[in-house]
Structure 1
Amino acid sequence: MNEQSSEQNIDKLNQAAADANTHATDQEFLSRLRQNIDAVDCEIQNLINNRAKLAQQVAVVKKDHAAKSDSTDDHDPIFYRPEREAQVLKAVMARNTGPIADEKMARLFREIMSVCLDLEAPQRIAFLGPVGTFTHAAALKHFGKAADTVPLTTITDVFREVEAGTAMYGVVPVENSSEGVVNHTLDGFLSSSLKIIGEVELPIHQNFLVAEHTKVDGLSRIYSHQQSLAQCRHWLDVNFPNVERVAVSSNGEAARRLKNEWHSAAIAGDVAAAEYGLHKLYSNIEDNPSNTTRFLVIGHESIAPSGQDKTSIVVSAHDKAGALIEILKPLSYHGVSMTSIETRPERPNKWAYVFFIDMAGHVQDPNVSAAIADIRPLVKDLRVLGSYPKAVL
């Protein structure tokens, strides 16, 4: 059944209900509307299952192609295609006519796609844990709730898990709009061959959480990650100026601690609240409402263009005056927009540095490819960390 015929059926149901309302009581009209909703639900369910069957057929084709391929690189078929998912989600928002908002509609499709991908091949996703952190929320936002998400203790552990193939992909934080870059993530790329295959932008909304047994009048401490405490400093000064603030390893850990403490509260996000069964006493208490964290999705494969992409490179420059200006000139010459640049020490060399540069476009785009080619002879080393779709949701 195509989209047009589905809409026609729904319009007929709505019109029939409206016509019936002419001679019906409010209760009778409400009953007919509910019958129409039931009919639409059946249609939606059938269409979702049809989509799932198509996804299973895609899996069969990919497996057959891999079995017939002479290339060792193709023996393990790739089921998750970030560029394809980005294109689908953008198309969903482009054709959406409401009343559901574009992003909310895309989030519904995100979950449908997650379930269908799980039918093709279950996805194991490593993330910087524990459960309930914003990195956990980013992993769920990007891969959907059908993915098997695995919390790990450190960013280094996430890199190792993906490198070893124990996890297919990893999600790590790289930058916060208020607190700056996450150096551990950048350093991870210096000793790893993994690629960036995607990005997630997550608005950071902090909640003041309590447990069912918490006695708010007797609060003596507030747990959270150091960054979250900093992001809510003004709100805490106004509302709980005399309560001790205790920095812990993560917001997930902060939420977990409330289980056995009646005199404590935690600052954390929605995922932590749901995971640990906590009540949001106050919502969105962050001092900066536009506070956002960017996360990277890491994996092994190169990603095809999606139409709206970013490319990340790491460059080891020569130790000479004007080295950075020399590196940036080809970007300007070829009309490539640089979106960010960060500097890290080039270990083990003393007083030597590498530059992490993000730019708009895909490495297959002629201007991006030309700019990178012009930079290579100017530096000691240049590695393309990946070209990947810009965050859609």
Structure 2
Amino acid sequence: MNPDTTQPAVAPGSLEEALLEIRHGIDAVDDEIVALLNKRAALSLEVGRRKDGRASAIFKPFREQEVLARLTAANPGPLPNNHLIAVYREILSSSRRLQRPERVAYLGPEGTFSHFAAMAALGHSPDFLPQTTIGDVFAAVAGKQADLGVVPLENSLQGTIGQSLDNFQRYNVFIQAEITCRVSHALLSTATSLDAVEIVYSHPQPLAQCAGWLKTHLPRAKVIPTDSTAAAAARLAGEPNAAAIGHLRLAAMHHLNVLASPIEDLPDNWTRFFIIGPEDTKQQTRDKTSLLFTVPNKPGSLHQVLAHLAGEGINLTKLESRPIRGEKWQYFFFADLQCDLTREEYKKLLATLTENTHSLRILGCYPAGPQVDLAEGATDKAE
């Protein structure tokens, strides 16, 4: 005989009673979490008190990654690791704020990819200071108007952002950490259909990353570069025939319609950001080193530098040349190395590199950064 499937699985009223009991259990756990968070906050305040009067940086990227790695390794579930990391990013952000207010400069205005990357790396607790240009971010950090700055370095599709490299030459700042973010673009407008769009605004990088889509879907639209994606979205007020390319969240911020998303030509679109500060972090364990150097103008000078690195088994992951301002046909080189070049074992190598270069400056030694999906706000990987 088949069971009567028309009968409820539980007696009337018992489901609501069961849910009520579960909710009471959740409330009790929430009370425990709040008590523990305040206990942790008290410890952070004690750290701040012991540091009182000392100018040491409160952002310790390797320590934070160490905390996240330990927690994810011990996480039994069912809470996914990316959710756990997102929660703890904010806990760590709050802990830094309790020790001392933290000012973070970024390429503004609010709503740029640099802004979202800054929040993904540092949480929501700092005081975020929007800047008009990438150079202004460097200047704010170098002049100590900001404790940290977030600047884009390179995009996986469009390559290096030259302004960032040039400003490393101009300003005496240091790389504290890195974060690599997956970027996804949307077409935003006050209009309700693509047929109305005659002008498209955005930063040059997103315009290039969406060039194929624009050619296919808006071949007659005029493309106008702006200082940032957020600035592009802000221009749309009063322009019913215009659209902007930027992050989906800009739609809610500026009361815009999403006409299409995603519109980037290739889905695997990542931007690497540096977190910069006015001084070196002096962390104990660091995975990567970034350098600026120049070489004598003679045959084989660059080859000698690269040969010394290869001879020590050091992997060179990025090498790029940029013109030196005011010195025509002269160039400086930016390099990423997979090592901490300041370790004692590389002391002799560093001396040799100094001898074989015209100038050499270590921009920073820092931990390999996490990969974050800005489209979802989820952390894919923590190293």
Query: What's the TM-score bracket when you normalise by the shorter of the two chains?
Result: 0.7 to 0.9
Q: What pairs up with 1:252-263 in 2 under 5 angstroms?
A: 252-263=230-241
Which residue of structure 2 aligns with residue 108 of structure 1? 87
Which amino acid in the other structure matches residue 159 of structure 1? F
Inter-CA distance 198–265: structure 2 relative to 1 (3 Å threshold):
same
Shift of 1:101: 2.9
Which residue of structure 1 aligns with residue 169 of structure 2? 190
Paired residue secondary structure (2:237): helix
Specify every segment of 5 or more residues in structure 1 that has no aligned partner in the other structure, as ranges. 1-20, 67-74
Deviations 1:156-202 (A, max 9, x none): 21121112111111111111111111111111121222111111211
After the TM superposition, which of the residue ranges 176-185 and 98-107 deviates more from structure 2?
98-107
* Aligned equivalents of 2:349, 2:113: Cα separation in 1: 35
Inter-CA distance 126–383: structure 2 relative to 1 (3 Å threshold):
same
* Aligned equivalents of 2:89, 2:315: Cα separation in 1: 29
Contact 2:203–2:225 under 8 Å retained in 1: yes
- Larger helix share, 1 or 2: 1
Which residue of structure 2 aligns with residue 219 of structure 1? 197
Deviations 1:302-356 (A, max 9, x none): 2234645211111110111111110011211112111111101233333222111
Shift of 1:44: 1.6
Q: Determine which of 4, 14, 27 is the counterpart of 1:25.
A: 14
Inter-CA distance 155–42: structure 2 relative to 1 (3 Å threshold):
same
Inter-CA distance 277–368: structure 2 relative to 1 (3 Å threshold):
farther
* Aligned equivalents of 2:17, 2:265: Cα separation in 1: 50
Does 2:268 match 1:268? no
* Aligned equivalents of 2:349, 2:267: Cα separation in 1: 37
Deviations 1:238-297 (A, max 9, x none): 333444433322110111122333333221014433433444343322111111111111
Which residue of structure 1 aligns with residue 64 of structure 2? 85
Q: Determine which of 328, 338, 343 is the counterpart of 1:360.
A: 338
Contact 2:62–2:286 under 8 Å retained in 1: no
Inter-CA distance 170–49: structure 2 relative to 1 (3 Å threshold):
same
Which residue of structure 2 aligns with residue 318 of structure 1? 296
* Aligned equivalents of 2:126, 2:107: Cα separation in 1: 15
* Aligned equivalents of 2:35, 2:257: Cα separation in 1: 37
Inter-CA distance 362–386: structure 2 relative to 1 (3 Å threshold):
same
* Aligned equivalents of 2:181, 2:142: Cα separation in 1: 25
* Aligned equivalents of 2:66, 2:130: Cα separation in 1: 29
Which residue of structure 2 aligns with residue 139 of structure 1? 118
Which amino acid in the other structure matches residue 201 of structure 2? Y
Q: Give the share of equivalent positions with the same residue, in percent.
A: 37
Shift of 1:384: 0.8
Deviations 1:212-259 (A, max 9, x none): x75655333332222212211222333334444333221101111223
Q: What pairs up with 1:289-368 in 2 under 5 angstroms?
A: 289-305=267-283, 307=285, 309-368=287-346
Paired residue secondary structure (1:260): coil
Paired residue secondary structure (1:259): coil
When normalised by structure 2's length, the TM-score is: 0.87
Shift of 1:23: 10
Q: Determine which of 164, 177, 181 is the counterpart of 2:156.
A: 177
Q: Count matched residues.
A: 362
Q: What pairs up with 1:28-47 in 2 under 5 angstroms?
A: 28-47=17-36
* Aligned equivalents of 1:364, 1:24: Cα separation in 2: 68
* Aligned equivalents of 1:22, 1:315: Cα separation in 2: 76
Paired residue secondary structure (1:320): coil
After the TM superposition, which of the residue ranges 44-53 and 22-31 deviates more from structure 2?
22-31
Inter-CA distance 135–335: structure 2 relative to 1 (3 Å threshold):
same
Which amino acid in the other structure matches residue 375 of structure 1? L
When normalised by structure 1's length, the TM-score is: 0.85
* Aligned equivalents of 1:35, 1:383: Cα separation in 2: 59
Specify every segment of 5 or more residues in structure 2 that has no aligned partner in the other structure, as ranges. 1-9, 372-383
> Higher relative contact order by CA 8 Å / sep ≥ 6: 1 or 2?
2
Contact 1:215–1:262 under 8 Å retained in 2: no
After the TM superposition, which of the residue ranges 350-359 and 296-305 deviates more from structure 2?
296-305
Inter-CA distance 271–142: structure 2 relative to 1 (3 Å threshold):
farther
Which amino acid in the other structure matches residue 35 of structure 1? H
Contact 1:201–1:294 under 8 Å retained in 2: yes
* Aligned equivalents of 1:221, 1:110: Cα separation in 2: 39
RMSD (Å) for aligned C-alpha atoms? 2.3
* Aligned equivalents of 1:113, 1:22: Cα separation in 2: 46
Does 2:106 match 1:117? no
Q: What pairs up with 1:48-63 in 2 under 5 angstroms?
A: 48-63=37-52
* Aligned equivalents of 2:251, 2:17: Cα separation in 1: 40
Contact 1:83–1:304 under 8 Å retained in 2: no
